[in-house]
Amino acid sequence: MIKNKLYQYGNQNGRVPAHLNFGKEVYDNMVANKDIIAMINADTSEQMTYGEMAQSIADIALSLSRMGIGKGDVVCICSEKNFEFLPTVLDPLAHRVKIVRPKVVFCSQTAFKQHKPVFDEVGSVEHYILYGDQAQDGAILFKDFLTETAALEDFEPVPVNGWEDTAFIVYSSGTTGLPKGVPVTHIGFLLNAQNMTTQEVLQLAPMIITELIKSANLDRYDHSSVNYIVSSSTYIREDAVLAVKKRIPSLVSVLQLYGMSEGGSICNELACTKGYKAGSSGLPGLGFIMKVVDLETRQPLGPNLRGEICIKGPSVMKAYLGNVQPDCKDEEGFLKTGDIGYYDEDGYFFVVNRIKELIKFNDISVAPAEFEDILLQHPAVREVGVVGKPHPVHGELPVAFIVLQSGATASEAELVEHINSRVTYKMRLAGGVRFIDRLPRGAGDKLDRINLTQRLVDEDAN
């Protein structure tokens, strides 16, 4: 391979099975470890071994085959993960179902009662298979669906073309619009699986990390066992990483995972042999080629220059289902992530913001995260979200929605001065501050900036 010096390369020598079948790889490993406990029900303490899980998988596959379901057909699951988790509301669900048009739907009792009309409207579903023991019209109980028992050691998954065939259809996050269907190939899952680790980590949302830094109660607890915190879904500033490490002395690193439905695990700091860097998402993952391009010229940039991150590799989707966004890749086949970021001299990537979230103030694009970083340094600020408010002269005015710490006080003038005294003219908080009790959040605990922007629209309307 002839390498471009402005591109960053992950390990290109991943080891995958010759059959390139994700299902077979998982099944064979389950059978090989059949006596090891795979799952424990936290409510009932019921246990399931990998052998029992493999048996269930084989039985389900045979039963689906008997129904006439084969390679290329879509099977959907609509069920709560636990008592607290409820399925998504009807409209987004209808959009998702129309994308994939499943032939079979596995449903919980609650999901079937609530969402069957949505699936019926799409018109593609031939069979509903119902978890639990309560029969309902139009559905087959799961226990009645399993009419055959497979021979565990002899069962063979259907052969596939691992480079082309879809293993799963996942959905984009839908942060800036309705979710899109993302077909993930078998090779994509096989490569992503190699990014998994047995290292014990504490998974926390960025918002919780910010709260830990300012929490007066943290020192009351023994957190000496916490060596690694893993976070994703949004950017964590470098000073926040250093601050939480100061509060938790045993902490080796705060690992920022960088991934997306369309590309899987793009950067993985756990795999970095060069060590950890505060604020970085690490080096390109297995099989990836990455570049950062200028937003205007689309030319690749060198180290420490901000632009759009673009990715290429076997794990990256070929296209959205239905090719709904044909321009999602450039002429070289790189997927445009829509993320602003840069890499340093060692090839470590730093994700800064989303392109669609940039605020155009006086013809200069400013990342909301830059405002938020500074405002979070104020002792009275617990959470903050910054969005642009349309203005006829200046383009957009940066407006900060702020949640104060419990019992803390701060005026708008104080917070505006806090940021304006620390930045250049282009970074002024020209739109002021709005105090709210709670920031709106969406999937993955991401800040819902569309909601905040709509509040500003409603504000003007009133």
- Residue ranges covered by each domain of the chain: 22-158, 202-353, 358-461
- Distance in angstroms (rounded) separating the CA atoms of residues 370 and 373: 5
What pairs with residue 181 in β-bridges? 171
Looking at domain 22-158, its CATH architecture is 3-Layer(aba) Sandwich (3.40)
Q: Does residue 231 sit in helix, strand or coil?
A: strand
Q: Which CATH number fits domain 358-461: 3.40.50.10860, 3.30.300.30, 3.90.1170.50, 3.40.50.1980?
A: 3.30.300.30
pLDDT of residue 85: 28
Q: Is 202-353 in the same CATH topology as 22-158?
A: yes
Q: Are 329 and 349 in contact (CB under 8 A)?
A: no
Tens place of pLDDT for every residue, the chain, 462 residues?
Answer: 678 999 999 988 878 888 999 999 999 999 999 999 998 888 889 899 999 999 999 999 999 998 999 999 999 988 765 322 222 233 456 778 888 899 999 999 998 998 899 899 889 999 999 988 899 999 999 999 988 888 888 888 889 999 999 999 888 876 556 788 999 999 998 988 887 777 788 888 877 888 888 888 888 999 999 998 988 767 777 778 888 999 999 998 888 889 999 998 898 776 666 777 888 888 999 899 999 999 999 999 999 999 999 999 999 999 998 877 788 999 999 999 999 999 999 999 999 888 888 898 888 888 888 888 889 889 999 999 999 998 888 889 999 999 999 889 999 999 999 998 888 877 789 999 999 999 998 766 778 888 999 999 888 777
CA distances for 430 relative to 64, 356, 411, 425, angstroms: 60, 20, 15, 10
Instruction: Give which of 459, 378, 61, 9 is closest to 210, Cα–Cα.
Output: 378
- Distance in angstroms (rounded) separating the CA atoms of residues 349 and 446: 20
The secondary structure of 22-56, three-state, reads HHHHHHHHHHHCCCCEEEECCCCCCEEEHHHHHHH
Q: Does residue 198 sit in helix, strand or coil?
A: coil
The count of C-alpha atoms lying within 13 angstroms of the C-alpha of 274, restricted to the half-sphere facing its C-beta, is 14
Strands 359-361 and 364-366: antiparallel
Q: Are 264 and 191 in contact (CB under 8 A)?
A: yes
Taking only the tens place, the pLDDT of each residue in 106-149 is: 999 998 998 899 899 889 999 999 988 899 999 999 999 988 88
| DSSP state at residue 300 | B
Q: Does the domain formed by 202-353 have CATH 3.40.50.12780? A: yes
Instruction: Give which of 367, 342, 377 is closest to 240, Cα–Cα.
Output: 377
Listing DSSP states for 327-382 in one string gives: TSB-TTS-EEEEEEEEE-TT--EEEEEEGGG-EEETTEEE-HHHHHHHHHTSTTEE
Strands 335-343 and 127-130: unpaired
- Distance in angstroms (rounded) separating the CA atoms of residues 63 and 161: 23
pLDDT of residue 90: 36
Q: Tell me the torsion sign for CA atoms 370, 375, 377, 382.
A: negative
E-assigned strand segments in 175-299 = 181-185, 202-203, 228-231, 253-256, 258-260, 264-267, 289-293
Gyration radius (Cα) of the chain, Å: 24
Largest CA distance in the chain: 73
Token pair recorded at residue 21: 């079948």
Strands 264-267 and 104-107: unpaired
Q: Percent helix, strand and coil across the chain, each rounded to 5?
A: 30, 25, 45
Which long-range contacts does 67-74 make (Cβ < 8 Å, 24+ apart)? 67/104, 67/126, 67/127, 69/103, 69/104, 70/158, 71/158, 71/160, 71/165, 73/103, 73/104, 74/100, 74/101, 74/102, 74/103, 74/169
Task: Please list, residue by residue across 11-45, b when 16 or more beta carbons sit within 10 angstroms of its beta carbon and e when fewer do.
Answer: eeebebeebbbbbbbbbbebbeebeeeeeeeeeee
Neighbours of 6 (CB within 10 A): 14
Model confidence pTM above 0.85? no
